[in-house]
Amino acid sequence: MKMKRVLACALSAAMIVTFVSFGNMGVGMVHAAVDIENESVTVEEKVLKEIESEVLKANAKANSEQKPAAWDNDGEAGWAFDDENHWWHSRYQGNPVEGEVNSGLVSASNPIWIQTGFGEAKKIKKITYLSRDNGMGSINAYKVQYANVQQGEPRDDDFHDIAGAAGNLQNARTAQEIVFNEAVTATHIRLVATSIYANGGQQYVAAKRIRVFEETEGTEGVTYNFYKQSDFWDYEVAYGNLADQTENADRWHYQIKKPSEGGWIDIPANALKTKDNGEKSWMNDDKGLDGTYYYAKLNKDEITSTFQGEAYTAVAYAWKAPKNGYFKMTLESPITQASSPAPSFFVCHSSDNQDGKDLFRNIVGANSTITSKIARVHTGEWLRLGATTKNAWASGLKPVVMEVTAKDYAVQYLEEVSGIEEGNSYTEASKQAVKEARSALQEAILPEVPDMVVVEQKITALEQAIAGLQEYVPVTEVTLNVTEANLKVGETVQLTATVAPDNASQEVLWVSDAEGIASVDSATGLVTANSAGTAIITATSTMNPEKKAQCTVVVTRDDTTLDVAIKAAEEKIREENFENKYTEASKTALRENLENAKLAKENANLSVEDVKLVVDALNASIEELQLKAVVTINNNDQIETKYCEIGDQVTVVAQNVENKKFSHWTFNGTPICYSSPYTFTVYGDATIEAVYVNAEEEVTPQAAMMCSVSYNKSTQTIKFTAKRSVPEGCKIVKHGMILTSRTAWNDLYAENPENFVLGASRILTKEATTTGLAGNYSVNVKCTKPNIWYAKGYVVYTDKNGEEQTVYSDVVSYEVK
């Protein structure tokens, strides 16, 4: 029977079928009804190129890595991309650094990932994953993601899942391929693990070698001959001498099994002998020391296995696979002749020079044929058809390798593994995983011509589920690494459960009896302290809920910030001259808030939120302590300092100075009053000085205007105060203040402040209602947003001559940030 014609339709999605014309018939696709003896089609296969390990290592990153290294071989992410005898391991020692998750224990709620980049966008088609040598930390459930960013490191939301690149890896110690449905254009690739095969270890993740392959622009052309029933077979090699082949020289081998040399070895070309008819064959006819001949014979259509000793035990036609696929061995036609007894034939599949897995083993005589089971074969692996019976031969033997579809293999595989999970003491979860994977594969092969990529994925998933069958071992005990823990609110502790015996399921479920006090991650055992109190954390075996262990967690409030605030307040109160320097209201507020803080310290039941409010209030009262105004009085070089509340009134009296007479008082250097005594209201720091002149000197009083500013943080109010003094005999026309904000000042007055006068543009004019010759006038500005306000006091009066005069203070300003 010819090979299934759907082969060409089932080629990998990475292949491009070249259009070929046969006579008047254009072929774009090969159909089962076609039956042409010499039909063929050329297929272009995309070439995959491995990305250099140095590039991958230089751009490696993980959300958990054992750095610095521990136990010599457990280390950073870059160790998964070189060929040294070490591996990447998620963190189990030391504190996580920025960018790492809190725990290196993998779970569905705490996925652990490793990624690498290429420095530029590449078309990535597949990756391979190799676990560490002892299997600890081998990835089970996984997915692969990609990111394509123009520059810099990608964020988590830059990564996207790759179609077909998710599922479960096998619990194996060999490299496993993850081939994508389509190549993805990416600058970074990320492998995400959500569960592992612990293999005796904890739930940490490891990878010894990860390789990444890009799809290049080039292709390789391969011609498939449908009549010969297979993509890659060609047994008609000249005389069986493989060295004489000009094409596919590494495909068919003649091999002999020699246990003393470790297994199957190629028969060298110089061992081939030429027969009378010109054919070349191989025969070992060396005579042993005991006079016995040990020989065997193999040529292109005859096999002889005459072994009288142990030097050789079998001969075979060996076929080396040039690609991944599904293959079986058969004969082009039945055997024509055979010895009696007939040879015992076998077909086996392996990745090395050992027999590997049997696909066929039976005695086959004349007029009979050989058809092996289908093998899932990877590039470079072997299929061998040979004979082992001593003193036996067969001729007319023409071996053929046939490629079939993933569906053909799936049908066979489903039959082989039918009910494999039953009849053994496996865990229910692992048995259910096999059932689900089997159903998914059965569903995938229902169409007559199914999606072969999907079928292959489902085959892999079933293989992994079977490999993951976990034998049920009764749990005898559960113990914890910590049985008592004292934590502050916000702190964490990692609990680790150990289940006995070691080969029992290590899976436990974590529960807290008081989540509000201490919560626990149900998968990882990470405990977080939430509020003061006591909580019991229980780890229960999922295999035997009667076996459990507990940890008592006592949580206390973290009063560090409260202690710091109390200390700061007490130090402030001990500050030199504290009682005199600060206003009574602000001192009272500080003392009351300090007392509240001390009460909070004694109250262990107070919540973290309430303590924070107390701390904030105490810190605010320290910050908002309001200094009293400092009034410095210089009277005839006698200096007096007063600490005054805002609004206090101070009276100063001139002295009798020999040969001098009193002239006037200056307020911060500005003449303000020509009479004594002088009483003024305190609005801020001020220096009052008495000015004395010679007794005979005439004093001419001058009008004066000054302006000061203060800010009340609690009310968010700027207070501008204008202080005026007009000589006796004058009459006040009006007085008050002009104001403007930052925008108008910058636009109109910053470069020409002299233009900031009554009647100017974009100003606010305030006029007092009093008409006294001396006094104060204040304007309050509520300012809740960042701004700068500018103000200038003014007084308009008529002098003794009846002429109108206008006097301005200097401009003062205040910035609210």
344-392 pLDDT, tens digit per residue, is: 899 999 999 898 999 999 999 889 999 999 999 998 899 998 887 666 7
Rounded Cα distance between 144 and 161, Å, is 6
Site of tokens 């389509």 = 182
Residue 251 banded pLDDT, cuts 50, 70, 90: low
Domains 53-220 and 233-404 share a fold: yes
Site of tokens 């001396």 = 774
| pLDDT for residue 304 | 60
| pLDDT for residue 482 | 96
Q: Mean pLDDT for the chain?
A: 83
Rounded to an integer, the average pLDDT of 41-58 is 76
Rounded to an integer, the average pLDDT of 554-582 is 91
Q: Which of 124-133, 232-241, 585-594 has the lowest mean pLDDT?
A: 232-241
- For residue 257, what are the β-bridge partners? 264, 314
Which fold is adopted by the domain 701-817?
Answer: Immunoglobulin-like (2.60.40)
How many other C-beta atoms are found inside a 10 Å radius of the C-beta of residue 781? 19
Cα 96 to chain centroid, rounded: 13
Rounded to an integer, the average pLDDT of 301-314 is 59
Nearest residue to 180 via CA among 167, 161, 163, 192: 163
Q: Is a pLDDT exceeding 90 seen at residue 492?
A: yes
Which fold is adopted by the domain 53-220?
Answer: Jelly Rolls (2.60.120)
Q: Would you kindly state where each structural domain of the chain is located, as residue ranges?
A: 53-220, 233-404, 408-467, 477-556, 560-623, 628-700, 701-817
| pLDDT for residue 391 | 67
Pairing of strands 548-556, 484-488: parallel
Rounded Cα distance between 795 and 770, Å, is 12
Rounded to an integer, the average pLDDT of 193-198 is 90
**In the 3-class helix/strand/coil scheme, how is 410-457 assigned residue by residue?**
HHHHHHHCCCCCCCCCECHHHHHHHHHHHHHHHHHCCCCCCCHHHHHH
| pLDDT for residue 250 | 57
| pLDDT for residue 221 | 45
| pLDDT for residue 778 | 93
Q: Is a pLDDT exceeding 60 seen at residue 236?
A: no
| pLDDT for residue 84 | 87
Cβ contacts of residue 648 below 8 Å, gap of 6+? 629, 681, 682
Judged on CB neighbours under 10 Å (0-12, 13-18, 19+), 448 is: exposed
| pLDDT for residue 312 | 65
2-41 pLDDT, tens digit per residue, is: 232 222 222 222 222 222 222 222 222 222 222 323 334 3
| pLDDT for residue 3 | 31
Percent of the chain with pLDDT over 70: 84
Which comes out higher in pLDDT, residue 584 or 269? 584
How many other C-beta atoms are found inside a 10 Å radius of the C-beta of residue 141? 18
Which fold is adopted by the domain 233-404?
Answer: Jelly Rolls (2.60.120)
Contact between 678 and 652 under an 8 Å Cβ cutoff? The reply is: yes
Cα 39 to chain centroid, rounded: 53
Percent of the chain with pLDDT over 90: 52
Cβ contacts of residue 302 below 8 Å, gap of 6+? 281, 393, 394, 395, 396, 397
| pLDDT for residue 437 | 95
Q: Is a pLDDT exceeding 50 seen at residue 65?
A: yes
Which comes out higher in pLDDT, residue 122 or 262? 122
What kind and span of H or E run contains 498?
strand 497-500
Cis peptide before 701 (omega within 30 of 0): no
| pLDDT for residue 277 | 52
| pLDDT for residue 494 | 97
Q: Where are the beta strands (DSSP E) in 92-234?
A: 112-130, 138-139, 141-147, 160-168, 176-193, 196-197, 206-207, 209-225
Rounded Cα distance between 409 and 246, Å, is 32
| pLDDT for residue 282 | 52
- Is 2.60.40 the CATH classification of the domain at 628-700? yes
Rounded Cα distance between 496 and 503, Å, is 17
H-only helix segments in 468-515: none
Site of tokens 């007009």 = 726
Q: Is a pLDDT exceeding 50 seen at residue 291?
A: no
Cis peptide before 68 (omega within 30 of 0): yes
Helix/strand/coil for 606: coil
Residue 87 banded pLDDT, cuts 50, 70, 90: very high
| pLDDT for residue 309 | 52
Determine the longest span between alpha carbons in the chain, in angstroms. Answer: 158
Q: Of 1.10.3720.10, 3.40.1030.10, 2.60.40.1080, 3.30.950.10, which CATH number belongs to 477-556?
A: 2.60.40.1080
Count of all residues that appear for the chain in the document: 817
**How far apart, in Å, do the first and last CA atoms of the chain sit?**
90
Each residue of 205-228: b (16+ CB within 10 Å) or e?
bbbbbbbbbbbeeeeeebebebeb
496-519 pLDDT, tens digit per residue, is: 999 999 888 888 999 999 999 999
Contact between 645 and 583 under an 8 Å Cβ cutoff? The reply is: yes
| pLDDT for residue 234 | 31
Residue 286 banded pLDDT, cuts 50, 70, 90: very low
Contact between 554 and 485 under an 8 Å Cβ cutoff? The reply is: yes
Looking at this protein, which amino acid is placed at residue 717? T
What kind and span of H or E run contains 480?
strand 477-480
Nearest residue to 731 via CA among 765, 759, 703, 768: 703
97-106 pLDDT, tens digit per residue, is: 998 999 999 9
| pLDDT for residue 16 | 23
Q: Is a pLDDT exceeding 60 seen at residue 127?
A: yes
Residue 623 phi/psi, 5° resolution? -65, -35
Q: Which of 62-71, 289-298, 691-700, 729-738 has the lowest mean pLDDT?
A: 289-298
Q: Is a pLDDT exceeding 90 seen at residue 424?
A: no
